[in-house]
Structure 1
Amino acid sequence: MSRSMKQFHDAQWHIVQQAGGLLLNRSISKPQLHSLKSTRHLILAVSFWHSSFSKLINSQGYYLHSLYNWLKLTLIPSEVEKLSPSWFEELIEAYNRVLPYATTASKAIKSFVQVIHGISEQQAEEMKTKKEVEDGLRELDKKSEEIRNIDKKLYLSNSRVGILGLPGGGSWSDAQDPLAKKKKKLREHQRRVEEDTRAKVFNDLHAGLLRLFEAMTEFSDASAQALEKFCGSHDRPT
């Protein structure tokens, strides 16, 4: 099982390593409320993975040490002597050799949770900016319409007394909108925020996944080697 897990994590690491640039260059849809919810669900899922992984590693160690202590208390002295250096002690040693890799993997999972937290915050900030820009554009459109109506009234009033009004018979083009520059600045600000957020999200995600799968690959590889060495020294099947 450990060997298969190592192969899967190794393949995942290579895929993420090669896919980083491709992901960033793809056209990505803008974050919506459902994508923000999906990100928060992912936080819960990876947090549960981290908790379960840590409990598994700690429980294995607690079980091995408890069982060894129970055997020492239960067996008669002559049998206790046979336990050292026994296959059981070697199994504990194998666990202890793998433990540093398990600790590193656990930290990598926890770190990935923080990466997703950061992505969630960035998505929320981008949606906030989007709403602010949309509200600002609506307000500017409202003011533009008010100015347009005033100019139309002036045109009609001036035309009655023979004064030249707006070109085009009182009609407006976008280029004549006095608030067009402000609207353009708002849209450019939103686009910059989207581009910066997208770049940061994928850079953080790419780096986080690389660290995660690298740590999991090393852990599963160390586990497989430790078990194979232990089983091989005692003629036990892997």
Structure 2
Amino acid sequence: MRRTWKRRKTRRTMPVSMTAAGAGHIDHSARVMKIITWNRSFRSMQNGDDGKDEFENDEEETLATVIDKILAWEKKLYDEVKAGEIMKLEYQRKVALLNRQKRNNAAVDVLEKTKAAVTHLHTRYIVDMQSMDSTVSEIQHLRDNQLYPKLLDLADRLAKMWEDMHMHHANQLKTVLDLKSVDISDSSIETSAHHHSHTRQLHDIVDKWNTNFSDLMSYQKEYINALYSWLKLNLIPIESSLKEKVASPPRVQQPPVKALLQAWNEQLAKLPDDLARHAIVSFRAVLETILGVQDEELKKKEACEQIHKEYVRKARAFEEWYHKHGQRRTFDDPESGEGTSQKDAISEKRFAVESLKSKLDNEVEAHNKLSKQVREKSLSILRAHLPELFRALTDFSHATADMHSKLRLNALMQDQGSGNN
């Protein structure tokens, strides 16, 4: 019961982990011992299969593996702080016991035994704190010598990526602006099923584009914010009333990575990603409008085809009937009255076919008119909204490239000013 109570009283004075995207789903247990027992003095040695240890070459490590290392050391530090807190509570309990014994004039051997226990606990605590300081130093080393350069490299690569994106979006903007002078009078007026299918594919792609763009910006902001939040906790010193005899290493309160992450976190919030996202969403709505009028046109075309099939069937039936019965009875004796009734039957059947043909002609004319309206409306919409889309994306990619370039440049200037390379 005593141990359980002490564990509940333990104070968590250091961060346990960094909440980077997806970190909670990674099993670090296999890495922890390998990372923590890593000995720098053996970096130049090769393992049994003549291959370098995957954690020995800093240049080959990724930002993710560096964060994995820091997480492993943070877990070790957490365990050490927790054990130190339990040790401190035990030490304070023994000191209180010793004071009570002194007040109660306890026997000398009892006092000496308690004093020995107090000294032993204090010595153990000092050793534990020195081990803790060693762990802190390792985390600082990883933070300043591995995490910081990797973040600078990431900012540099993102700047180059968005510079390329800006170039492509600028070319796309020029292309869509040229649409205003394109003459499509000789192109097919009718919307084909193939054309409609491609329009729907484009709509689906733009829909995924919107989702992926939103996720990209959201994950970037969450990632940098998580790193910055961890760093602010990392810079909080571990305080203890028992540390006066421990030669703790100095703790840099303003490491270069702090200014980088602080600026990065602030600048990401200022990016005009809402304007770019709105432009993508608006273009998706435009495509939905085009799909709607194309659906209406295709339904009209389908109605024309059904009337055409009915007309062909009835016209063929009339021709067959006429050749079989109509011509023979036309030359019958007019006095019998059969010729007159036959003429009426022919006229009635011919009128039905001609009425259907007239209906077909009207539907075809309506379809052609609708097809022309759909094409003109679609082209007008695209000419109006495509420039808006790529202008917003061009502005956003330029702003994003500029932001990351300045992050990198400001960090390098700060390093030069402080004498760091």
User: C-alpha separation between the residues in 1 aligned to 2:365 and 2:181?
Assistant: 25
Output the amino acid matched with 1:59: Y
Are 2:358 and 1:181 aligned?
Answer: yes
The structural deviation recorded for 1:232 is 2.7
1:224 counterpart letter in structure 2: A
5+ unaligned residues in a row in structure 1: which ranges?
Answer: 171-176
- Out of 18, 21, 35, the position equivalent to 2:195 is 35
Q: Mean Cα displacement is larger for which, 58-67 or 108-117?
A: 108-117
Pairing 1:34-73 to 2, within 5 Å after superposition = 34-73=194-233
1:19 aligns with 2:179: yes
Structure with higher RCO (Cα < 8 A, 6+ apart): 1
Give the counterpart of 1:220 among 367, 391, 397. Answer: 397
Give runs of aligned pairs for residues 137-176 of structure 1, distance below 5 A: 137-146=308-317, 148=319, 153-161=325-333
Which runs of structure 2 are paired with 1:121-136 in the superposition (5 Å)?
A: 121-136=292-307
Question: Does the CA-based 8 Å contact 1:94-1:227 persist in structure 2?
Answer: no
1:102 is matched with which residue: 273, 287, 290?
273
Normalising to structure 1: TM-score of the pair?
A: 0.79
Alignment match, 1:87: 260
Contact 2:300 2:367 in 1 (8 A): yes
- State the Cα distance separating 1:145 from its structure 2 match: 4.3
CA–CA distance in structure 1, aligned partners of residues 190 and 274 of structure 2: 37
Per-residue CA shift, 1:95-134, capped at 9, x if unaligned? Answer: 2221xx2111112112222222222232222221111011
Q: TM-score, normalised by structure 2?
A: 0.47
Greater Cα shift, 213-222 or 122-131:
122-131
Separation in 2 of the partners of 1:234 and 1:82? 11
RMSD (Å) for aligned C-alpha atoms = 3.1
Residue identity matched to 2:264 = L
Instruction: Give me the whole-angstrom Cα distance separating, in 2, the residues matched to 1:57 and 1:217.
Output: 16
- Deviation sequence 1:19-78 (CA, Å, 0-9, x none): 244264351374343433333332222222111111110111111111111011112456
For structure 2, the 5+ residue unaligned runs are: 1-160, 238-250, 347-352, 414-421
Letter in 1 for 2:329: S
Question: Using a 3 Å threshold, how does the CA distance of structure 1 residues 23 and 106 change in structure 2: closer, same or farther?
Answer: farther
Question: Equivalents in 1 of 2:331, 2:187: separation in Å?
Answer: 51
Decide whether the 8 Å contact of 1:24 with 1:202 is kept in 2. Answer: no
Amino acid aligned to 2:386: L
Q: Secondary structure at the match of 2:388?
A: helix
> Which residue number corresponds to residue 372 of structure 2?
195
Which structure has the greater CA radius of gyration? 2
> Does structure 2 conserve the Cα–Cα contact (< 8 Å) formed by 1:97 and 1:226?
no
Aligned residues: 225
**Partner SS, residue 178 of structure 1:** helix
AA in 1 matched with 2:213: F
Partner of 1:229: 406
For residues 170-210 of structure 1, give each alpha carbon's deviation from its aligned partner in whole angstroms, at most 9, with x where no partner exists: 9xxxxxx7334333212101101111111122222333322
Supply the distance in 1 between the matched residues of 2:192 and 2:184 (Cα, whole angstroms): 18
